[in-house]
Structure 1
Amino acid sequence: MTDRLLDWLCGHDTVVFDLDGVLVDSNEVKVACMRSALSDFGDALVEDFLHEFRRTFGRSRREHFAAFHRDRLGGSGEGPGFEEFLARYSGRYAELIAERYRRAPLCAGAAELVRALQGRGTPLHVATGTLTAEAEEVLAAAGLASAITSVRGGERPKAQRLGEILRETEVTAAARRTVLVGDSRQDLLAAAQAGTAFLFVERYAFFPFAQVLTGPEANGSYRVWDLAPDAAVLFGPSHDSRPKEAAP
């Protein structure tokens, strides 16, 4: 018998949500913003990078731009030259995000689940690659800010953000009682590094569970199709997590 999502999450001391593709249906919004921000460099180079951008979604903004500067432009990904590049193109990206991000809809079940967890007194946090101020703004626009204890943005890597939450909630010794709810392999790796449990949400993810929940980091991970409170929580990459009506 499988657990339903709401009950399963309430069995944890702390729930940490990723933002994009988990609470907010914004993954492709960010891809489109990145495509426009880097348009100076031509379609071929940018589209090649966007594949990596999707694959490593969940990294901090600085890490993404460093990867483009280093791997596509032959730069160092650090130093004065990179900082000038970062200021220019990250600034463009931030302007596009400011224009489009807050209009992204919530993911299916997100509002209902967050409010149900809040009603049960479960501590909720957000750890995201999005900058903190941007994340706080989109949560406020969605009406979810009051339910979230803290928002930890992409100024630091996600694993560090999870560590902060564990230290400040004094549950370091019981890290597995904290769960990160995410939609990317970067989220899985952050949870593994911090020692927390991991729940993969598949519906809005760039890649299916079979491509995300691989390797030793996936040991003990769980999956769910979306955030509907009654969604079935499955253990690891065993079979399709979609409800029958969503399967092709």
Structure 2
Amino acid sequence: MTRPRKFDLIVFDWDGTLFDSTALITRCIQAACADLGTAVPSDRDASYVIGMGLAEALQHAAPGLARERYPELGQRYRHHYIARQHEVVLFDGTVAMLRSLKARHHWLGVATGKSRRGLDEALSSVQLKGVFDATRTADETASKPDPQMLLELMREFGVEPERTLMVGDTTHDLQLAANAATAFVAVSYGAHEPEAFDAFAPLHLAHSMADLNAWLTRHA
């Protein structure tokens, strides 16, 4: 007998959760700061902002830069990222996990700090267009940890918070889920150190894509 679903809607963060892009984003933020002659953030500080919308992320990563220069910083970040985005791939096992969830008739979503253009390009590059039932990006709704992304996705499918699960690699993702009153699972292989998740008490802390897949198979 097939086990009943606990969650109807499963929403994933993108960078650092499904897409192995943490290191590249960190390096591109640092390179953009160097280009403008402002203080280059440490790896920890640069990776901390992953998951935020680009404008908020750059302001946090380069607090000493004059406000009027943030658009220029964003342009330099995009320049470096576009030049190297072909190097980034999905975490091994991601496609199999998503197919398994689709086979169990879960609705799948993405809530990301990327722009709409950036997410669409990434989905096309890894041939996942059409796999997700709905997605939200930081330039079309409120940025994390504001709950608007999740609230919109739940409203689109008529799913209640108790039937929704958020999966992410940052405290921004977990705070987003907490603000939307949904359950959440964290992964330790992304942008934030796993110790940062302790205060949120996620249902599970996955240490690999295989671990995440196994937990979702048993509990989602």
Q: TM-score, structure 2 length as denominator?
A: 0.85
| 1:206 partnered with 2:191 | yes
Counterpart amino acid of 2:207?
Answer: W
The counterpart of 2:118, out of the listed 121, 134, 155, is 134
Q: Is the 8 A contact 1:184 1:200 kept in 2?
A: yes
Q: Is the 8 A contact 1:127 1:151 kept in 2?
A: yes
Counterpart amino acid of 2:157?
Answer: T
Counterpart amino acid of 1:153?
Answer: T
What is the aligned partner in structure 2 of residue 221 from structure 1? 203
The counterpart of 1:39, out of the listed 27, 34, 37, is 34
| 1:187 partnered with 2:180 | no
- Gap change, CA 1:60 and 1:68, over 3 Å in 2: same
Q: Distance in 2 between matches of 1:205 and 1:110?
A: 14
Larger radius of gyration: 1
Deviation at 1:114, TM superposition (A): 0.9
Counterpart amino acid of 2:181?
Answer: G
Q: Is the 8 A contact 2:11 2:165 kept in 1?
A: yes
Q: Is the 8 A contact 2:29 2:58 kept in 1?
A: no
The secondary structure found in structure 2 opposite 1:147 is coil
The counterpart of 2:150, out of the listed 149, 153, 162, is 162
The counterpart of 1:67, out of the listed 57, 60, 64, is 60
Deviation at 1:96, TM superposition (A): 2.0
Q: Is the 8 A contact 1:225 1:231 kept in 2?
A: no
Q: Distance in 1 between matches of 2:107 and 2:215?
A: 22
- Gap change, CA 1:102 and 1:145, over 3 Å in 2: farther
The secondary structure found in structure 1 opposite 2:166 is strand
The counterpart of 1:175, out of the listed 161, 170, 179, is 161
> Any unmatched runs of 5+ in structure 1?
1-6, 76-81, 234-248
- Gap change, CA 1:220 and 1:17, over 3 Å in 2: closer
Supply the RMSD in Å over aligned alpha carbons.
2.3
> Any unmatched runs of 5+ in structure 2?
none
What is the aligned partner in structure 2 of residue 99 from structure 1? 83
Q: Distance in 1 between matches of 2:84 and 2:35?
A: 20
Q: TM-score, structure 1 length as denominator?
A: 0.76
Instruction: Render the CA deviation track for 1:108-142: whole Å, top value 9, x for unaligned.
Output: 21111012212222111111111121111111111
The secondary structure found in structure 1 opposite 2:209 is coil
Q: Distance in 1 between matches of 2:162 and 2:83?
A: 38
Structure 1 runs (4+) greater than 3 angstroms displaced: 40-43
